[in-house]
Amino acid sequence: MTLFQIKNVQGQSILLTGTVTDSAGNAIPHVQIILYDSTNTKIIDFTQADSVGEYSIIAIEPGFYNLAFNILSHKPISIPIQILSEDSVKVLDVTLEPLSLVLDEIVVQSERSIRVSGDTISMKVDDFRRGDEEVVEDVLKVLPGFDVDGDGTIRFAGKQITKVMIEGSDLFGKGYRMVTKNLDANVLEDVEVLQNYTELAELRGLEKSDDIALNLSLKEEISFELFGNVSLGMNTLERHEARMVLTSLNKKIKQYIFLNSNSLGKDLVGELNELADSDNSVFSQGNMVDLELAPRNYFSRSLLPLSPRRMRFNNSGLASYNSIFKPNSDFEFKIISLARYDEDELKRQIETKFLTEEVISRDLETLNLTDRIDAGLIKVESVLKPNISSRFEYQGLLQRAKSSATSTVIINNENLFDNYSTGIWETTHNLNYTNRIDENQALVIHAKYSRQHHNDNYVSDPLFLGDFFDSSTGTLEGQQEEEFEMTSSSLKALWLIRTGNLSFLEIDTGVSYAVIKSNLDFESPALNNEHFIFSYNNRLTILNNSFGVLGRYRLGIFNLFSGIQGSYLIPTYKVNPESKPTPEFFLIKPKIGSDWSIGQSKFQLSYIYDASLSEIREILDGFYIDDRRTVKRGLGDFHFFRGHNALFNYTYGGWLRRNMVHTTLLYNRNNRVITNDVTVTPTYSLLQNTLDTDRELYLANISADILLPSLKNNLKLSGSITSTNFESLYNNEFYTIRTSIKAYGLSFRSVFDGLFNYTLGASWLHQNLNISSSEVRTKGSLYSDLYFEPSRTLKFQFVAEREAANQQGIKSTTYLMDAYMHLQVKPNKLKLTAEARNLLNNKYFVSNSLNGLMFTSTRYNLIPRSFLLSVNYRL
């Protein structure tokens, strides 16, 4: 029998507290306690009983709730409670009955490897370790349900993680790669997955969220006053890695210091813009006009086809200080500061063909590129809670970056030279006010001011664009400088209303103003012995009045939503410096959808009648140099686009059933799109934006993550089909281009307790291009990781990969092998690691790509065979 008693105690704030005991009156420590809303579908807050069975949850709003208690040794219970406005403290003492049977639906694989409680999944890290993990990112790669992309983006059950916290504190927001790429893996005790995560306590119960956040729990033996680790390594190529992480955690201030230097190809922080993000996720409806403008990619740099540790010749450094100061529950101050540099060398050979009716081939290019990026940012955030129902937030950012690059291109035994430099700075200020008006209403007001500036300078000797500029030689020396500046401000308001027990309404409105300046100058001193200058100047201002309404309600098993988003834009456009007639736009974007559950099946269906305007570069007038061989030109005016977007998601199972299957179907059709009128020659390309009738995209994706406890294995399956249909104009001929891409793969990983473990995997990709003929690209990858653990202190790992590709008659097969040894000299204190990479000493790797009618075959240099020895010491 479950016994509980409730009593009211007068105090200064609303507090829910109590003690958990067994039938004999003995305290039960570490019970998981979750506070749900009255429908038992939304987590309001959660905590864990301490070592003497006591718990507390503060800042509870008046209303009806369900309080759930869960621990493996006793029967779980859920108690309905009511908190009144006149309550200051509500005490709930609970007695739990012992559990005589193992709860299979809660315990997966081993007694405490995976624990599920409501929307929280807790995974015990030590039960899944392979032994070679260095940082948090490596740990997540081996946990069931997780996928980590090459750039460090984390997904759980197919959904992207929004933030990663340490011991419940969030510092980096969307820039969580700073933590996952630097924090030592050996300090982790548990990884907690927080589903349906809501950040603002003032909006709980009103805001629907399907976000997923992670909380990293650290080992008990970690000294929370100060802990960290230092690692140092050097290989036979005289490439190095040095890393220091210092962390101090106490009640009032948490501090993180990251220092890192490496030339082993590792990315130290991921995308810097993630750290600069304002993370204002409460305004879920995005902008209908894209005002961002990224620097040009003159050297066609892209993601490397293999791990950067195999292909990236770099020298990188990072220094970062970050802290959270929280003297009490009503005030919080955060600071993020970072400085980094990256020097990269890239060597590649490029063969390009255009699969027009008469195939156009270009001479083989050999590129030797050296570039350097220096970047830094400082970001401050503060939160003030004047009372239990409201908060003020401020975020300020200053970011600066500069980069430079030089390259030598060899074509027909002739050396050609490029130089490029860019400078970027940005400052942004955000001010938020949130107020929980009452149990059924909340108001959010957001103000933002931003200013950004960047300039590019590109010099090429020679350019293969002489024909375009009427040069008799077909080439010329060229210099191009572009400057972009944007100043913007906005004010938004959001009103969240509970209109019924299971129905909600969101109403938002806002106004924004932006001024955009773009200047471009192209200069050539080698045109008929005359000084040639081509320049243009653009000035664009946009006044945008926006509104949105979104309703959510429940009908039987169906959670329905419908809404509309609108913008009224008043643009003013000037070119050199005459004004151009620009119409005003009134954009409406309606959407509708539903989600529902039947047993272990979950469904989601949505439709959006999309609306958008041209992007900035598509608006800008005039020709510009995109790279040595390419000239581009925008439309020179605004255009309005409509489209249809339909999405269906299906998920079967979940962690309580030890497996999960996720399926996505997507259909996208744009009735009017911007495409290119392409003129292709053996030496250069001219791309002019033009309007096309429509473009279609079909996507089907399925993934499965299956735990096999009896076999102590984790099986992952994936498959996808993508199809696109569009038209493009090449050399005055229309081509209807149909492409289909099929990708599928599997991985099988063991988690044995004994001497041996393994990971086996394979993936395949087939791409079909249907024009006048059919060109098939096939790519396959096989890999195996074998782990041997002769003792608790000694581990060996052997990695083998086979990469094969076949396209346009070009076949390539590459075998890669590595070996690792990990020795714990002093457990949890000192570890030695030895690595032997590229044992077969492969020199090159060939990657083929097919983009529209352009086929590119690229041969990259691989890092030669090397042997590395590193030491890791925990402070």
Q: Tabulate helix, strand, coil % of the chain (nearest 5).
A: 5, 70, 30
Q: How confident is the model at residue 105 (pLDDT cuts 50, 70, 90)?
A: very low
| pLDDT for 451 | 93
In the three-class reduction of DSSP (H, G, I as helix; E, B as strand; rest coil), residue 731 is classed as coil
- Tell me the average pLDDT across 337-348: 91
Distance (Å, whole) CA 676 – CA 21: 71
Distance (Å, whole) CA 856 – CA 367: 14
For the entire predicted model, the pTM comes to: 0.76
List alpha helices for 201-328, DSSP H: 272-276, 308-311
Distance (Å, whole) CA 424 – CA 296: 12
Residues 6+ apart with CB under 8 A from 58: 13, 14, 15, 16, 329
- Tell me the average pLDDT across 845-866: 87
- Tell me the average pLDDT across 123-144: 81
Cα 559 → chain centroid: 28
- Tell me the average pLDDT across 117-145: 80
Please provide residue 142's backbone torsions phi and psi, each rounded to the nearest 5 degrees.
-100, -5
Distance (Å, whole) CA 442 – CA 434: 7
- Tell me the average pLDDT across 694-701: 90
- Tell me the average pLDDT across 689-704: 87
Q: How confident is the model at residue 55 (pLDDT cuts 50, 70, 90)?
A: confident
pLDDT per residue over 649-664, tens digit each? 998 876 555 678 889 9
Residues 6+ apart with CB under 8 A from 573: 538, 539, 540, 579, 580, 582, 619, 637, 638
CATH code: domain of residue 11: 2.60.40.10
| pLDDT for 88 | 67
pLDDT per residue over 663-676, tens digit each? 999 999 988 778 88
Cα 118 → chain centroid: 26
Q: How confident is the model at residue 866 (pLDDT cuts 50, 70, 90)?
A: very high
The verdict on 92 and 113 lying in the same domain is no
Cβ neighbours of 123 (radius 10 Å): 25
If one counts the domains in the chain, the total is: 3
SS in 3 state form for 548-568?
EEEEEEEECCEEEEEEEEEEE
- Tell me the average pLDDT across 40-60: 71
Where a domain ends, among 222, 253, 270?
Answer: 222
Distance (Å, whole) CA 860 – CA 312: 10
| pLDDT for 5 | 37
Q: Is residue 773 part of a domain?
A: no
| pLDDT for 448 | 92
Q: Is residue 471 part of a domain?
A: yes
- Given a cut of 70, is residue 805 above it in pLDDT? yes
The verdict on 396 and 539 lying in the same domain is yes
- Given a cut of 80, is residue 409 above it in pLDDT? yes
Q: Is residue 633 part of a domain?
A: no
| pLDDT for 780 | 82
Q: What percent of the chain has pLDDT over 70?
A: 85
Q: How confident is the model at residue 445 (pLDDT cuts 50, 70, 90)?
A: very high
- Given a cut of 80, is residue 325 above it in pLDDT? yes
The answer to whether 51 and 74 have CB atoms below 8 angstroms apart is: no
Q: Which of 53-62, 570-579, 603-612, 631-640 has the highest mean pLDDT?
A: 603-612
The verdict on 139 and 80 lying in the same domain is no
Residue 569 or residue 378, greater confidence: 378
- 872 has which bridge partners? 231, 831
Question: Which helix (H) or strand (E) is 616 found in, with range?
Answer: helix 616-619
Q: Is residue 494 part of a domain?
A: yes
- Domain holding 169, by residue range, is 106-222
The verdict on 544 and 396 lying in the same domain is yes
The verdict on 180 and 207 lying in the same domain is yes
- Given a cut of 60, is residue 313 above it in pLDDT? yes
What the block records as the tokens of 271 is: 């995308």
| pLDDT for 444 | 92
Distance (Å, whole) CA 301 – CA 345: 12
Residue 221 or residue 696, greater confidence: 696
- Given a cut of 80, is residue 58 above it in pLDDT? no
| pLDDT for 1 | 36
| pLDDT for 2 | 39
Q: How confident is the model at residue 851 (pLDDT cuts 50, 70, 90)?
A: confident
Instruction: Give the lowest-confidence range in 185-199, 690-704, 768-782, 795-809.
Output: 768-782
pLDDT per residue over 226-273, tens digit each? 778 899 999 999 999 999 988 887 778 888 898 999 999 887 766 556
Q: How confident is the model at residue 106 (pLDDT cuts 50, 70, 90)?
A: very low
Nearest Cα neighbor of 176 from 245, 279, 275 is: 275
Cβ neighbours of 578 (radius 10 Å): 7
Q: Which of 244-253, 288-297, 488-497, 844-853 has the highest mean pLDDT?
A: 488-497
Q: How confident is the model at residue 757 (pLDDT cuts 50, 70, 90)?
A: confident
Strands 15-22 and 89-96: parallel
- Given a cut of 70, is residue 420 above it in pLDDT? yes
Instruction: Give the lowest-confidence range in 170-184, 799-813, 842-856.
Output: 170-184
Cα–Cα distances (Å) from 373 to 336, 405, 424, 686, in that order, read: 20, 9, 11, 30
The verdict on 457 and 536 lying in the same domain is yes
CA atoms within 13 A on the CB side of 492: 27
| pLDDT for 491 | 92
Cα 607 → chain centroid: 24
The verdict on 44 and 172 lying in the same domain is no
| pLDDT for 583 | 80
| pLDDT for 425 | 92
Distance (Å, whole) CA 855 – CA 853: 6
Instruction: Give the lowest-confidence range in 142-146, 453-457, 856-860.
Output: 142-146
The verdict on 432 and 547 lying in the same domain is yes
Q: Is residue 511 part of a domain?
A: yes
The verdict on 177 and 193 lying in the same domain is yes
Q: Is residue 35 part of a domain?
A: yes
List alpha helices for 114-265, DSSP H: 136-142, 177-180
The verdict on 539 and 396 lying in the same domain is yes
The verdict on 48 and 78 lying in the same domain is yes
The answer to whether 849 and 858 have CB atoms below 8 angstroms apart is: yes
- Given a cut of 70, is residue 99 above it in pLDDT? no
Q: Is residue 266 part of a domain?
A: no
- Given a cut of 60, is residue 23 above it in pLDDT? yes
The verdict on 8 and 60 lying in the same domain is yes
Distance (Å, whole) CA 742 – CA 721: 5
| pLDDT for 10 | 37
- Given a cut of 50, is residue 102 above it in pLDDT? no
- Given a cut of 80, is residue 44 above it in pLDDT? no
Q: Strands, E, within 655-755: which ranges?
A: 659-670, 673-680, 685-692, 695-708, 713-730, 733-750
Where a domain ends, among 65, 99, 133?
Answer: 99
- Tell me the average pLDDT across 27-37: 80
Residues 6+ apart with CB under 8 A from 446: 280, 282, 283, 430, 431, 432, 433, 490, 491, 492, 493, 494
Nearest Cα neighbor of 487 from 445, 447, 453 is: 453
Residues 6+ apart with CB under 8 A from 106: 70, 72, 76, 115, 116, 117, 656
pLDDT per residue over 577-614, tens digit each? 778 777 888 888 899 999 998 877 889 999 999 888 77
Q: What's the CA angle centered on 109, arms 785 and 831, to 5 degrees?
A: 45
Residue 388 or residue 523, greater confidence: 388
- Given a cut of 90, is residue 553 above it in pLDDT? no
Kindly report the average pLDDT of the chain as a whole number: 81
Distance (Å, whole) CA 36 – CA 34: 6
Q: How confident is the model at residue 630 (pLDDT cuts 50, 70, 90)?
A: confident
Strands 844-851 and 830-837: unpaired
Where a domain ends, among 532, 551, 570?
Answer: 551
Instruction: Give the lowest-confidence range in 309-313, 572-576, 722-726.
Output: 572-576
| pLDDT for 103 | 35
Q: DSSP letters along 95-148, please?
A: EE-B--S--TTTEESSTTTEEEETTEEEEEGGGT--S---BHHHHHHHSTTEEE
Q: Is residue 849 part of a domain?
A: no
In the three-class reduction of DSSP (H, G, I as helix; E, B as strand; rest coil), residue 388 is classed as coil
| pLDDT for 3 | 39
